């Protein structure tokens, strides 16, 4: 009889998409993190790609559902991959991320998946975020947001990134 190690384990490829919602504030960049309470985990909004949905469509939908914010894509961020076991199968999950900007909505309108959604200064978000691979994405996003958003001309009629009050 083969040992447990000798048995083939089914491997599933999962693909998700999400992003880092960022804005410029006095003194720097703020980003949105989502929190699950039990166990407490702070992370980036993301979710599974649905049938006939593109990766960028998934990012926009999942971020809207999980944060309550309407967003648009600014540019791609690095993807992450990791392994986990669930339902007797080994899963390799790849998560595609985008730098996003809020164009409307309200964090109070987030879905049930997270108990809290919060705008945080970048340094505080980097301290709170629970997973090292997401921290790396967040670091890149903050750097890109500083570069991209600081270069944009500001005017009342053309201000694509809401400023914090």
26 phi, psi to nearest 5 deg: -60, 120
pTM of the predicted structure, to 2 decimals = 0.84
pLDDT at residue 163 greater than cutoff 50: no
The answer to whether 95 and 17 have CB atoms below 8 angstroms apart is yes
Domains (range + CATH), the chain: 11-151 (3.90.79.10)
* pLDDT at residue 29, as a whole number: 95
How many whole angstroms separate alpha carbon 162 and alpha carbon 128?
23
pLDDT tens track for 43-65 = 999 999 999 999 999 999 999 99
Backbone torsion region of residue 104, taken as left when φ is above 0, otherwise alpha when ψ lies between -120 and 50, otherwise beta: left
């Amino acid at each position: 009889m083969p040992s447990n190690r000798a048995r083939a384990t089914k491997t599933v490829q999962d693909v998700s998409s999400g992003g880092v919602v960022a804005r410029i504030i006095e003194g720097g960049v703020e980003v949105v993190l989502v929190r699950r309470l039990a166990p407490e985990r702070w992370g980036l909004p993301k979710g599974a790609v649905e049938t006939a949905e593109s990766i960028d469509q998934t990012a926009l939908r999942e971020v809207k559902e999980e944060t309550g914010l309407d967003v648009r894509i600014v540019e791609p961020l690095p993807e992450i991959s990791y392994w986990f076991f669930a339902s007797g199968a080994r899963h390799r999950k790849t998560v595609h991320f985008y730098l996003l900007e809020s164009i409307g909505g309200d964090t109070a309108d987030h879905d049930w998946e997270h108990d809290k959604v919060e705008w945080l200064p970048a340094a505080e978000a980097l301290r709170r975020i629970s997973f090292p691979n997401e921290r790396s994405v967040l670091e890149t996003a903050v750097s890109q947001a500083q570069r991209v958003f600081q270069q944009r001309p500001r005017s009342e009629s053309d201000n694509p990134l809401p400023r914090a009050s």
